[in-house]
Chains A and B, each alone.
Chain A
Amino acid sequence: MFFETLGVILCAAGIVPALKGTTSPAARLGMFALILFTLLLFVL
């Protein structure tokens, strides 16, 4: 449970910088894919 919570907190903390850090939609998509992979790493 600890790792799942840690993963969710890390991913939630990355969403705003990932959205505001660039103007490129493709780069945002890539960053969100990485956030999703991070979440899967902690959850699975």
Chain B
Amino acid sequence: MKKLILTIQWLEWIRIKNRIWMLIFILLGFSMFAGSCEQQNVNFNFSYSSSESTNQPQPSASSPGIIATQPNTLSDKPQENIYSQLMSLLPLVFWTFAALFLGILVLATMPFRGREEWENGQFQLIFMGKYNQIQIQGARFIAYFAITIAFFMAVSINANFLALQKEWLTRETIINFQVLLTYWFFIAVPLMISYGGLISAINIAYYRDGDHKILTLLKYLGSMGLISLLIKAIQFLTNKEMSLFQPTVLNFEVNAQAIPIMIYWELLFIAATICAAFIYWSGKILEEVES
């Protein structure tokens, strides 16, 4: 199995190298814009302090435009400055979510193989050996998931370290935020990748008979229907009375108030089960198509 995983990793990295370059450029752009957040923060505080607040320290005459402020922590700030402090976080939050959104758009297209890529027959050659299509689909899933973990961790950990280094949020809030992001990552991303693999397998099964526009439309609409059903199922399962395991509570300190957010562990198990079912299903389809 290790040999299969390494082979699939190599083949897939060659096939999707353009998308990996796009991810690297998104990471570079994120680093550049997130790194420039400090300057925006300084300008914002400067204009705020010079126009409205009287208890803010003014920039010194010897260094105009350069900050001469006190440490920028939540606990040191008076109450009226918390709004401006939260506003100063917005550029970092915006660039982080922009990078994650663009990255997910790129990552979601990874499992899809076009007709030419299918006709190249790399996976068919592996299938003719001792491995079946379900194992091949599992190895493909691991390959995509490894790339996704690397991208997601690079963005989220960098953003959190930046916020921690500049003391924009407390350490506990940042750790809780990272835990929350990782929790939703491990629910949503395996589902996204395995569902992409399933749709790609269905596409391959219909390649022989040519493209049907109505089927393509139904695939898009059906995916939207599945997402809306999943959201409704999550809303139903996150009901407190339904939970089997004790939910974990994360406290976020915003505006000097603790906001509790619950983490339900059942969702992780359900997502993993659905993900395994999608991988098995896509492997079964490809076995029937290739046999």
Residues of A with Cβ closer than 8 Å to B?
10-11, 13-14, 17-18, 20-27, 30-31, 33-41, 44
Contacts and interface: CB of A to CB of B under 8 A. Distances in A.
A36 B11 CA distance: 35
Contacts of B229: 37, 40
Contacts of A10: 214, 217-218, 221
Contacts of B217: 10, 14
A21 B215 contact: yes
Interface residues of B, number: 26
Given A17-B214, A22-B208, A41-B221, A30 B226 contact: no
Contact of A25 (B198, B228, B288): B288
Contact of A17 (B212, B223, B284): B212
> DSSP majority for the A interface?
helix
Contacts of A20: 209
A38 B227 CA distance: 11
Contact of A37 (B212, B222, B288): B222
Given A27-B206, A30-B202, A11 B218 contact: yes
Given A10-B218, A20-B209, A24-B205, A37 B226 contact: yes
A39 B226 CA distance: 11
B202 A40 contact: no
Contact of B222 (A13, A22, A38, A44): A38
B202 A35 contact: no
